[in-house]
Chain A
Amino acid sequence: MNLNLLLPEIIVFSFSLMVLFVSLFWNNRKPSLTLGLMSIAGLLLAIGAFVVIPRVGATAFGGMFVADGFSLFFRVLFLNLAAMIVLLAIDFMREFQRHLGEFYFLLLIVALGAMLMSSANDLIMIFLALELLSLPSYILVGFAKRDPRSNEAALKYFLLGVLASAMLLYGMSLIFGLTGSTGLVDIASKFEASGGSAGPALLVAIIMIIAGFGFKIAAVPFHFWSPDTYEGAPTSVTVLLATLSMIGGFVGLYRLFFIALPDYLDIWTKVIFILAFLSMTMGSLIAMSQDNLKRLLAYSGIAHGGYILIAFSVATFDSQWSVLVYFLAYIFMTVGAFAVAMVVERARGSSEISALGGLGYSNPFLGVTMTIFMMSLVGLPPFAGFIGKLYVFKSAVEGGALFLVLVAIVTSVISLYFYLKVVRQIYFVKGDGEAVPTPNLSFAVIALCAIYTILICLYPVFFTRIALAAIS
């Protein structure tokens, strides 16, 4: 048994328990800071643990858990992402005096679920990882107990989430029934050996699995929960849903389809094609009429999910590494945008877009960085979003998906309209001049995101090299 392969996961889990216990027995004056820093220590230690463990080419739990380039990329990515989210949460969870231990505990468990998903090599493992990712999220969304919107968001998310999990499980059971195996590699070889065309059962299974993950990644038409939930959840949790949880879903989708069902590539790419098309168009179109920044970012996330799905639907080697670069770009610009939204929400007490009025003059740092994030989300150079789109579109054109690229270009022009709405508030509207102080930790996160958003475009070679290494 090769347990030390899971050392990073074990560290994260131990720290999550430690946070929980410490919060029970140690009363101090700044619980958010203490517990948050403790969580960060755990996450950093887990990143450090990768130095001493075998990084690629090893398995554990009888092949259910695999360490390869892909899993290395995402495990480290999720750890870093979780650290950024915790940093933001430290500033913004202060107002919740109670249950902070639970908050950080659940947050670390979500990260743990995402990490396990990256290494999952078995249907059961994928399902468990997904549940580990989902169940704490339901609770986190409803964390603001006294806020009815938060409660409503949590219940909606939970009800739909359970349905999606059931769908996924049903689809998986069909695949198990067809092959008699739960190991992804095993399934692939069984399908290859049988060599037949896909029967109706497999087709239904594919749809159900896509529906299950489609919920997690908020792809149209499985997206209905996301705007309501994004708006109602505490923003520290919304950023978690928009990044960690969403990318976790993509990772599961990737592992299941690329490893277990490569033989039926032409079938599932067709379904993904439809999801990509719908997500891009609906996401961008509906975003135009939003006035709430969190809702706008929710729809923008749906549209970006569509761009990411383009790469899945093309499914060439180039599209696979391209999408990893897209994830990197997406993470930094999205976390950055949410971070600015959080700072403004706290200072001005509203997450409406109009709350950003005059931000460019009352707090130039936030104004400039938010403009960078918005322009990057549009996909304008010289920002990360441009590089992400460039790679994905290029690989899609080469892979023969010219139609999707055409749609994507048109929708990104539409998207300019609603991202400009934000920039316009920042520079072209005189706000009430109310000062917006930036807490130190948020400042660090926003600055980091802005730097990466520019760096990915200026020096993409570093990031593409990582992505290539993860895929090959």
Chain B
Amino acid sequence: MGIENIVLNLVIVIALLPLLSFVLLLFLGRFLPGRGGPVATALVGASFAASLYVLFQVLTRGNVASSMVWHVAGSARFTLGLLVDELTVFMLVVVTSISFVIHLYSIGYMHREKRLSWYFAVLSLFTAAMLSLVIADNYLQLYISWELVGLCSYLLIGFWFEKKSASDAAKKAFIVTRLGDVGLSLGIILIYVSTGSFIFSEVFQQAEGLSMTLVTAITLLLFCGAAGKSAQFPLHVWLPDAMEGPTPVNALVDAATKIGAGVYLVARNFPLFELSAFSTGTVVWIGAISALMAATMAMVMTDIKRVLAYSTVSQVGYMMVALGTGGYFAGIFHLMTHAFSKALLFLGSGSIIQAAHVQDITQAGGLYRRMKITAITFILGALSISGLPLFSGFWSSDQILRDVYNYNFIIYVILTFTSILTAFYMSRLVFLTFFGRKGDKAEYAHESPPVMSIPLILLAIPTVLVGFIGSPFLPEAYRFFTLFAPESFGVRQVEANYAVMGGPIAADLAGILLAYLIYQRNLRPQDWLARYLGPYYKVLLHKYYFDEIYLFLIVRPVLRLSDFIGRFDLAVIDRVVNWVGDSGLRFASAIGIFDLGVIDGIVNWVGDTMLDNSSRFRLSQTGYTLNYLLFFFAAVALLVLWIQFA
């Protein structure tokens, strides 16, 4: 057995271990120690270790792929396969590492829950679904995992169903992303129709022969799916609501799984997107709008998790911009640095919520002295997201901005401005939570137990350091890292362009300074932002009225339509039927299109007889049947009319 086979089998094992954990916990969960949490953690940990080995093998030896025929059905061939390239191994490591840490953290965070083994079972299934998504070598397999990811997020976000808001949020998360999935499934169908294959490599090979319009349509449809899963404008509305779920779940959703899936989809289909300038342009603009809009909303939110949720939307916007501008490497790099930082921030916020029982940052304050580990790691994460130099978020966002600078100056300005906002809302979060006036809740706060603080430390390490492999200071590591993408995938020359670098740094510092002045030194009153922004502040608080718009434009009309057709008011049916039956048939026979003698006769006879007997029928009937009968006739008559003309 060659090393390739070992790698392939290992990849299967990596995806199967969390699945095994799911099955084990589902059936034996209640008998396991800690209701199965430690077992699940260990299995996902093993998955992580195996991923590291696979990463090393693939980076030194190159890609591995294998495909087998799943089944042949008629003229169609369905295949199952693995594609293990740099992008895959990279995702494997990110997903398994973060999932492992979150499993570990959940042992502490969730230990009081009643349905603990169910929680860990679905958490593992979520991980397994995401892993099988990134190892798929064809669209069909990808789609299967894609839906499984959606189902798991539904079950987890609604885990605390006792809160109505939680079960509503779960439903919203599922249905809004499914809206995007309509695009994805259409895109996949279109791909199959135009290339006759579901397999990535075959599709990419044939893609250049396709017409521009077709490629544009395909990529835009795929992007719909990605925008739904990755919560991009205008499908971002589910993510803030999803904060009703348990905090570790938010960490997993925002950092590694659901959000990552959309970015992964675009990255995986990079060869397709590259062919259509219109599609990449759309990706860039949607990304930029999401980045800016979400950042503005994050500034005014007072719920710590909602701030983080909007921050995720904003940061994923950066990744989309990067992918759209051809910065394949920069986008993936940012996905990784963001994943670690955001997981850290969410777990930190979970620690705060559990220790101080406070989620509203205006109620918190002065927590720094009470919980140092949480505070320090949280601040590191916030600095990394803000993109402060030397933190990993800096290196990746710097790469993106450098790419964007060469691409389109307006986008560069938007993103730089977003950097100010990012630094501002992150600092606001930190100042209001950890420093300043001591909130009432701070009195009783205490540091979380080691099972929760150790994961924070584990995540803080990559949050600070992982960026260096992409920095200009470590050219060796960087060259190694650029293996991630072949030349054609648009890896940019790494030269520190200090002028371009300088803008965002200045922006970050300005944002932090502003937050410091307002929230720490109290140079301006706390509600300064509200007063300064005026009516716009209200718009932000209402999240640009997106929920209301959706309610008004989509949800209510559909429900009303359903209600309307469903009730099909007796009067309506009656009138319609009579009208159609009488005037339609009379009209038709009058102009003598075809001999209605027989039909007319039957209709009249049945109609008359029924009407005569209707009182007798009503004794045992509600009278609906009469309408049903007439409707039946009307339908037949209409169809006959139609087919004679057609």
Which residue of B559, B566, B642 has the most chain A CB atoms within 10 A of its CB atom? Answer: B566
Kindly identify which residue among A381, A410, A424 contacts B144, using a CB–CB cutoff of 8 Å: A381
- Residue-wise interface mask of B (71-96) relative to A, using a CB-CB cutoff of 8 A (1 in contact, 0 not): 11111101000000000000000000
Q: CA separation between A211 and B561, bound complex, in Å?
A: 26
Q: Which one of A152, A228, A287, A289 has the greatest number of beta carbons of chain B within 10 Å? A: A289
Inside 8 A of B147's CB, which chain A residues have their CB? 380-381
Take A285-B562, A394-B192, A409-B182 as given contacts and tell me if A211 and B632 are in contact as well, using a CB distance cutoff of 8 Å.
yes
Q: Which of B74, B636, B644, B646 contacts A318 (CB 8 A)?
A: B74
A267 touches B558 (CB 8 A): no
In the assembled complex, A207 has its CB within 8 A of some CB on chain B = yes
Q: Mark A186-207, 1 if CB is under 8 A from B, else 0.
A: 0000000000000010011011
B565 at the interface (CB under 8 A from A): yes
| B563: Cβ under 8 A from any A Cβ | yes
Residues of chain A contacted by B594 (CB below 8 angstroms)? 200
User: Is A41 on the interface with B (CB-CB < 8 A)?
Assistant: no
Q: How close is A207's CB to chain B, nearest CB, in angstroms?
A: 5
Q: Which of A225, A285, A420, A461 contacts B174 (CB 8 A)?
A: A420
Cβ–Cβ contact B155 & A289, under 8 A: no
Given contacts A394-B76, A430-B162, A464-B71, A270 and B628 within 8 Å (CB-CB): no
Residues in A neighbouring B70, C-beta threshold 8 A: 460-461
Chain B residues whose CB sits within 8 angstroms of the CB of A410 once the complex forms: 182
Across the interface, which residues of B come within 8 angstroms of A225, CB to CB? 628
Interface range on chain A: under 10, 10 to 19, 20 to 34, or 35 or more? Answer: 35 or more
A461 proximity list for chain B (CB < 8 A): 70-73
DSSP class of B's interface residues: helix, strand, loop or mixed?
helix
| Inter-chain contact A163/B189, CB cutoff 8 Å | no
- Which residue on B lies nearest to A459, using beta carbons? B71
Residue of A nearest to B141 (CB): A381
Give bound CA distance, A198 to B192, whole Å: 36
Secondary structure class of chain A's binding surface, majority of residues: helix
Chain B's closest residue to A417 (CB) is B175
Q: A207-B639, A428-B167 are in contact. Are A381 and B74 (CB under 8 A)?
A: no
> Is the Cβ of B558 less than 8 Å from the Cβ of A414?
yes
Contact bitstring B171-195, A, C-beta under 8 A = 1, else 0 = 1001100110110011001001100
Bound state CA distance, A224 and B621, in angstroms? 15
| Interface residue B537 (Cβ < 8 Å from any Cβ of A) | no
| Known contacts A163-B629, A211-B632, A270-B643; is-contact A282 B620 (Cβ 8 Å) | no
In the bound complex, what is the Cα–Cα distance between A196 and B174 (angstroms)? 53
Q: B143: which A residues are within 8 A, CB to CB?
A: 381
- Residues of chain B at interface, number, CB under 8 A: 65
State whether A204 and B640 are in contact (beta carbons under 8 Å apart), knowing that A160-B628, A211-B632, A464-B73 are contacts in the complex.
yes
Q: Is A366 positioned at the interface, with any CB of B under 8 Å from its CB?
A: no
A394-B76, A427-B158 in contact; A152/B621 too (CB < 8 A)? Answer: yes
* A413/B628 contact (C-beta < 8 A), A285-B562, A288-B559, A290-B566 known: no
Q: Is B171 a contact of A420 with CB atoms below 8 Å?
A: yes
Q: Does A178 contact B (CB under 8 A)?
A: no
A176 within 8 A of B: no
- CB within 8 Å of B: which of A198-251? 200, 203-204, 206-208, 210-211, 215, 221-222, 224-225, 228
Determine the residue in chain B with the shortest Cβ distance to A358. Answer: B161
- The B-contacting residues of A in range 390-415, CB under 8 angstroms, are 390-391, 393-394, 397-398, 402, 405-406, 409-410, 413-414
| B521 close to chain A: CB less than 8 A | no
Asked whether B417 is an interface residue with its Cβ less than 8 Å from the other chain, the reply is: no
User: Which chain B residues in 136-177 approach chain A with CB under 8 Å?
Assistant: 140, 143-144, 147-148, 151, 154-155, 158, 161-162, 166-167, 170-171, 174-175
Identify 21 residue pairs between A and B in the complex whose beta-carbon atoms are under 8 Å apart, listed by A's number.
A152-B622, A159-B625, A163-B606, A221-B635, A222-B632, A224-B627, A224-B631, A270-B643, A271-B643, A288-B562, A321-B73, A368-B26, A381-B147, A382-B144, A394-B76, A397-B193, A402-B193, A409-B182, A413-B179, A420-B171, A428-B161
6 cross-chain pairs, A with B, having the tightest CB-CB distances, nearest first = A461-B71, A428-B161, A381-B144, A428-B167, A221-B635, A224-B628
Contacts from B to A (Cβ < 8 Å): 26, 70-76, 78, 115, 140, 143-144, 147-148, 151, 154-155, 158, 161-162, 166-167, 170-171, 174-175, 178-179, 181-182, 185-186, 189, 192-193, 558-559, 561-563, 565-567, 594, 599, 606, 620-622, 624-625, 627-629, 631-632, 635-636, 639-640, 642-644, 646
Inter-chain pairs besides A156-B624, A224-B627, A409-B186, 20 sampled, C-beta below 8 Å: A160-B625, A200-B594, A207-B640, A274-B642, A282-B565, A285-B561, A285-B562, A286-B566, A288-B558, A289-B566, A317-B74, A321-B74, A398-B193, A413-B182, A420-B171, A427-B161, A428-B158, A428-B161, A460-B73, A464-B74
